């Protein structure tokens, strides 16, 4: 076997591996978000999701594209009489568990011992009279300005 034919085989194997990797990454990024459950406590809502976007822009864009669907299907947000609301999107992960662990998020609207999830917040959307709509994602705070532009809030 010549060196030239081995080089072609190596290139072919690398090309196939790159294709598989690109295909897998595309599949991960393009999977639709799955809403598993919605739990409510007054004007606070918890939405349990799988396949949520990874980037801050993707998360905020998802909210903007789906906020009407959330209102129609799940009746959220449910603002308080003064307009405030908070929606937290949690990764559902391995599903509901018993409280057991010291720091799980448990839902009192479920009358079972298996009513908790790991605390893995992927997005929090809040509305208040003073700030308007504010997003908390990936360690940053973002808000929609009066022109509809999303800007990062700098906290000094």
11 and 82 assigned to the same domain: no
25 and 88 assigned to the same domain: no
68 and 143 assigned to the same domain: yes
What percent of the chain lies above the pLDDT cut of 90? Answer: 56
What total of structural domains would you count in the chain?
2
The pLDDT of residue 60 is above 90: yes
84 and 144 assigned to the same domain: yes
Q: What is the pLDDT of residue 30?
A: 64
The residues, ordered by sequence, that sit 6+ positions from 56 with a Cβ below 8 Å of its Cβ are 135, 137, 138, 140, 142
Taking residue 92's Cβ as centre, other Cβ atoms within 10 Å add up to 20
139 and 72 assigned to the same domain: yes
Residue 9 — very low, low, confident or very high, per pLDDT cuts 50/70/90?
confident
Longest dimension (CA), the chain: 79
Whether the Cβ atoms of residue 119 and residue 127 lie closer than 8 Å to each other: no
The pLDDT of residue 1 is above 60: no
45 and 23 assigned to the same domain: no
Instruction: Give me the phi and psi of 6, to 5 degrees please.
Output: -70, -40
pLDDT per residue as tens digits for the range 129-155:
888 899 999 999 999 887 888 999 887
84 and 108 assigned to the same domain: yes
Residue 77 — very low, low, confident or very high, per pLDDT cuts 50/70/90?
very high
Q: Which helix (H) or strand (E) holds 146?
A: none
The Cα–Cα gap between 89 and 8 comes to 48
Q: Which residue has the higher pLDDT, 31 or 57?
A: 57
Q: What is the pLDDT of residue 102?
A: 74
- Range list of H helices, 31-138: 56-74
The Cα–Cα gap between 111 and 119 comes to 20
Secondary structure string (H, E, C) spanning 77-100? CCCCCCCCEEEEEEECCCCCEECC
66 and 121 assigned to the same domain: yes
45 and 7 assigned to the same domain: no
129 and 142 assigned to the same domain: yes
Whether the Cβ atoms of residue 53 and residue 91 lie closer than 8 Å to each other: no
Closest CA to 67 of 91, 95, 35: 35
The pLDDT of residue 28 is above 70: no
14 and 49 assigned to the same domain: no
- 34-58 mean pLDDT: 93
67 and 14 assigned to the same domain: no
Task: For residue 24, give its domain range.
Answer: 1-30
């Amino acid at each position: 076997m010549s060196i030239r034919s081995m080089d072609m085989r190596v290139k072919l194997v690398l090309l196939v591996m790159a294709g598989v990797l690109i295909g897998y990454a595309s599949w991960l990024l393009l999977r639709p978000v799955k809403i598993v459950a919605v739990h409510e406590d007054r004007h606070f809502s918890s939405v349990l999701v799988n396949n949520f976007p990874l980037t801050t822009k993707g998360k905020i864009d998802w909210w903007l594209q789906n906020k009407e669907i959330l209102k129609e299907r799940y009746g959220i947000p449910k603002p308080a009489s003064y307009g405030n609301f908070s929606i937290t999107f949690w990764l559902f992960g391995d599903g509901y568990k018993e409280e057991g662990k010291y720091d799980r998020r448990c839902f009192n609207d479920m009358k079972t011992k298996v009513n908790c999830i790991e605390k893995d917040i992927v997005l929090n959307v809040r509305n208040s009279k003073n700030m308007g709509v504010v997003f908390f994602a990936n360690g940053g705070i973002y808000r929609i300005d009066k022109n509809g532009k999303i800007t990062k809030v700098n906290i000094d």
